[in-house]
Structure 1
Amino acid sequence: MTRRRALPTTAATLTALATLTLTACGGGGDRKSDDIKGVDRATPTVSASSAADAQRPDMSLPSDLQVQFDATRPSDTRHAAALDSAKNYILALNHGITAQDPEGPAYQFYSLGNATKYARGQIQGWVEDDWTATGTDSYYEVRTDDVGSSLGVLVRMCRDQSKFYGKNVKTQKIRYTKESLDSYQEFRLLMKPPQGSEKVWKVLQIEVQGRVKECRR
């Protein structure tokens, strides 16, 4: 988001955390990678099998904010479900910012641990500074990879926030920014599969890298 607060997490940390945390799911398998392209608008994206089983929180956005995903669903059902929840986590984060609610249920529904802490901190920062979001928040060049012998899925995506702006909640004035390398980030989200009575994948860890040249379009 415009407020760039990323947890100091490395890719190695994500892999190690997956190995330590997701061992209960078991199972072997080769690493799989899906390069996915296409266009998807900002609506909650859930698999048909789980949609009827889980009571999902409100993630509506105001009409002046759009979240766009340039991605199509992977053919691997595990990867598709993980990607759905990763996208919903990002939508929930934007919902929390525009709803001005750091303790809202949406991001908590799709996250655990440090990913929950990250979302809460991001939303709290916007609220404390009297800012909400407007414009277009774009995600693309999405890839999914098995992590820790198929125990979890790592979702990676580029982000373009060159048309994503802050709006003061009191004055309604928009703080426009020019496109630059600062506009481009890479998100890495470690997804934990459902366990027990859970119905959805959840973000366990998030890493956000700024000024990523490879993401510039």
Structure 2
Amino acid sequence: MKRRSLPVAAALTATAALLLTACSSGDDKAGDNDKIAGADQGGEASSPSPRTAPSPERPRISLPGDVKNVFDGWTIGDPGKDAVLADVKQRINATDAAIAAGDPDAETLGLYYKGEALVGVAEWVQGYVDDGKSITGTVRFYKPDLVMVDKDTAAFAYCADETKAFDKDRKTGKADQNAVTDDAYVAYNTRVEKNQDGVWQTSSLLSERGNAKCTP
């Protein structure tokens, strides 16, 4: 442990569910949350409804044999909400696949990220490339907490356990072994927006290592 933090990551306020609180308190607050989260402003009112929006085939994302993501409790039983969670899973896997491939321009990043979040993740992957690093190990994602703001916008918080995940040298394959601390547990808050093709894209992502919400 541990993997490096996203460049778009920022320390959260004392309330770990900042986005959830802002988004679930009414339409007037949702506008404030746009500013907090750094989400793109515009045009969402004209987005197709869930019943009419096309649903494109999602590309198959393959991770190296030594990279694994485990999602605990990421099925709610509501088709609409489960569709959001499925695309967030794809976003996480797409990110790891891009890091492993050393490809900051991977098409799947553009499919599952948008706006500032897309710029940030491309820079993050490029940082791995520049440093000659990749990733290895297993990350467990747990405590999913989803709030639908409207039919095309959701706020999603979750935790990640990186105690068994490491950066590694791309040439030698040697993992960076460090002592496990609370920093191995990461709290994430994200804003997710459905595009005109029906794909739920992450438009903002905040994270904090060692947050009490996620530590054992």
Structure 2 counterpart of 1:210: 209
- The 5 Å alignment of 1:1-217 reads 2-7=3-8, 8=10, 11=18, 15=30, 16-17=33-34, 20-21=41-42, 22-25=44-47, 53-147=55-149, 149-195=150-196, 198-217=197-216
Secondary structure of the structure 1 residue equivalent to 2:6: coil
Shift of 1:25: 4.7
Report the Cα distance in structure 2 between the residues aligned to 1:85 and 1:72, rounded to whole angstroms.
Answer: 11
| Structure 2: runs of 5+ lacking an equivalent | 13-17, 24-29
Distance 1:19 1:115, change over 3 A: closer
Report the Cα distance in structure 1 between the residues aligned to 2:212 and 2:182, rounded to whole angstroms.
Answer: 7
Cα pair 1:192 1:203 within 8 Å, conserved? yes
Q: State, as a whole percentage, how many aligned pairs show the same letter.
A: 24
Report the Cα distance in structure 2 between the residues aligned to 1:184 and 1:129, rounded to whole angstroms.
Answer: 24
Secondary structure of the structure 2 residue equivalent to 1:170: coil
Report the Cα distance in structure 1 between the residues aligned to 2:83 and 2:107, rounded to whole angstroms.
Answer: 20
Question: Which has the higher mean CA deviation after the structures are superposed, 186-195 or 8-17?
Answer: 8-17
Shift of 1:191: 1.0
Cα pair 1:145 1:155 within 8 Å, conserved? yes
CA deviations on 1:24-58 (whole Å, 9 max, x unpaired) are 3599xxxxxxxxxxxxxxxxxxxxx97xx524334
Secondary structure of the structure 2 residue equivalent to 1:160: strand
Distance 1:9 1:166, change over 3 A: closer
1:176 aligned partner, one-letter code: Q
| Structure 1: runs of 5+ lacking an equivalent | 28-48
CA deviations on 1:149-207 (whole Å, 9 max, x unpaired) are 45411111101111100110112211112221110111122111232xx0311111111
Structure 2 counterpart of 1:36: none
Report the Cα distance in structure 2 between the residues aligned to 1:207 and 1:86, rounded to whole angstroms.
Answer: 14
Secondary structure of the structure 1 residue equivalent to 2:61: coil
Cα pair 1:114 1:206 within 8 Å, conserved? no
Cα pair 1:3 1:125 within 8 Å, conserved? no
Cα pair 1:96 1:102 within 8 Å, conserved? yes
CA deviations on 1:81-132 (whole Å, 9 max, x unpaired) are 1111111111110000101101111111111101211211211111110010
Secondary structure of the structure 2 residue equivalent to 1:175: coil
Shift of 1:19: 10
